[in-house]
Structure 1
Amino acid sequence: MTLNKVTEAGIGARNKVNILAAAEKVFAQNGLKGTSVQQIADQAGIPKTNVLYYFKSKQELYLAVLKQTLSLWNSRFDLATAQDDPAETLAEYIAEKMEMSRTHPTASKIFALEIINGAPNLNRYFDEEHAQWMRGRVAIINAWIAQGKMSNVDPHYLLFHIWSSTQHYADFSAQVTRLRGSKMKKADFENATSHLISTILSGCGLTVPAQYRAASNG
């Protein structure tokens, strides 16, 4: 590859990052139907034609934002096995989800809006990949239960509880801010994370790992 092509590839990658960041913000504010390519271009500070050069339509750009959000949510829990320690694995998963709510709240809001509207743009993903992921995680949690590593809880409800409680801090950030009287800072997220880990793991008959207990006492 020549130097010019390398330079062009770098510029193209930066432009895509800029466009996706702008699209994420506008989609989170207006939803898919309420967003136009021109609004995204204005947010990115580039001409509309530049946006359409990289993404052929608003729909294609929206799907790219959704896929980026799902990739951000990749976790060590994706690779968990029946031999792992459930307390360590679940605590880390909760902490990762909370960190995503802190660092990428708009991405979470877009995903939430998509789900609220019936996930019309994620049907294939939910019917295949996400369902397969869910079956795999349920099987691992059931294996932990069968081995006597944790209490006999319903794996589906456990995962739904983790998702709802962690993503709440992103999707309902305005409510959290108003009721607390101030916007949550990093230290507040750390305290909330420790509280969630303690509550969820205790309900599973698990001992909270030392590093998360220490965070709650800090």
Structure 2
Amino acid sequence: MVENSAAVQKAGGTRIQREKRAAILEAGLTVFAEAGFRGATLDRIASEAGLSKPNLLYYYPSKEAIYEALLHGLLETWLDPLRALDHGGDPVEELLAYVARKLEMARDFPRESRLFANEILSGAPQMLPVLQGELRALVDETAGVIERWVSEGRLAKVDARHLLFSIWAQTQHYADFDVQVQAVLGGQDFAGAAAHLEQVFRRMLTV
């Protein structure tokens, strides 16, 4: 996911420059997900990326710059499935598809999910303006669509914003609490999780 992040694409440059930026972001993701922001160091990120520290600093001037680039790229990826909701589609099926996509992201991008969760648990020092701006605007727009579906009788009565919170919590749990899930189940079970969540949300949303 990092190689195709918005941060790398926006930065531009030659192919080699893009590859090195991608390598730095991939290394940063690994280190930040394991050590947290405070525990991560530029030396460790450079080593993980296979670069010297001066070479890394040519592309990103600080640890904070790498962290911020990662978070903004991750948020864009996180929001894409919500933007993809078809406002003219079947409400239940559209929301179930969103649930399924969020669970797939928890399965495929666990480090990214934990990085984002750690940022939120730290008080969102880097992301709070984006959460209060771009994210809130998108949630407000989506909530308006859900409320219209409810008013048209095409969706059971639900609180739109709390519905989205529930979807995020119940899907990202499988990434953020991976150790707990595997300890209880003896391994991950995304197929079982998908079947369970579809049943839960279908019952909740169907008129």
Indicate the residue corresponding to 2:203 in structure 1: 202
Equivalent-residue separation in structure 2 for 1:77 and 1:35 (angstroms): 31
Q: 1:131 to 1:74 in 2, by over 3 A?
A: closer
Partner SS state of residue 93, structure 1 = helix
- Superposed, 1:107-186 pairs within 5 Å as 107-182=112-187, 184=188
Equivalent-residue separation in structure 2 for 1:18 and 1:177 (angstroms): 29
User: What is the CA deviation profile of residues 90-129 of structure 1, one whole-angstrom value per residue up to 9, with x for unaligned ones?
Assistant: 1111111111111110000010011111111112201211
Partner SS state of residue 32, structure 1 = helix
Shift of 1:15: 1.1
Larger radius of gyration: 1
Partner SS state of residue 156, structure 2 = coil
**Does the CA contact (< 8 Å) of 1:101 and 1:169 recur in 2?**
yes
Shift of 1:205: 1.9
**Does the CA contact (< 8 Å) of 1:81 and 1:140 recur in 2?**
no
Shift of 1:53: 1.1
**Does the CA contact (< 8 Å) of 2:92 and 2:206 recur in 1?**
no
Shift of 1:82: 4.0
- Between the two proteins, what is the percent identity of the paired residues? 36
TM-score by length of 1: 0.85
User: Unmatched 5+ residue regions in structure 1?
Assistant: 1-7, 207-218
TM-score by length of 2: 0.89
Shift of 1:81: 5.0
Q: Which amino acid counterpart does residue 191 of structure 2 have in structure 1?
A: E
**Does the CA contact (< 8 Å) of 1:37 and 1:58 recur in 2?**
yes
Count of residue pairs the alignment pairs up: 195
For residue 29 of structure 1, the aligned residue among 23, 34, 50 is 34
Equivalent-residue separation in structure 2 for 1:14 and 1:78 (angstroms): 28
For residue 15 of structure 2, the aligned residue among 10, 16, 24 is 10
Shift of 1:178: 0.9
Shift of 1:194: 2.3
Equivalent-residue separation in structure 1 for 2:152 and 2:137 (angstroms): 23
Indicate the residue corresponding to 1:4 in structure 2: none
Q: RMSD in angstroms over aligned alpha carbons?
A: 1.4
Equivalent-residue separation in structure 2 for 1:69 and 1:76 (angstroms): 12
Matched, 1:58 2:59: no
Equivalent-residue separation in structure 1 for 2:80 and 2:202 (angstroms): 18
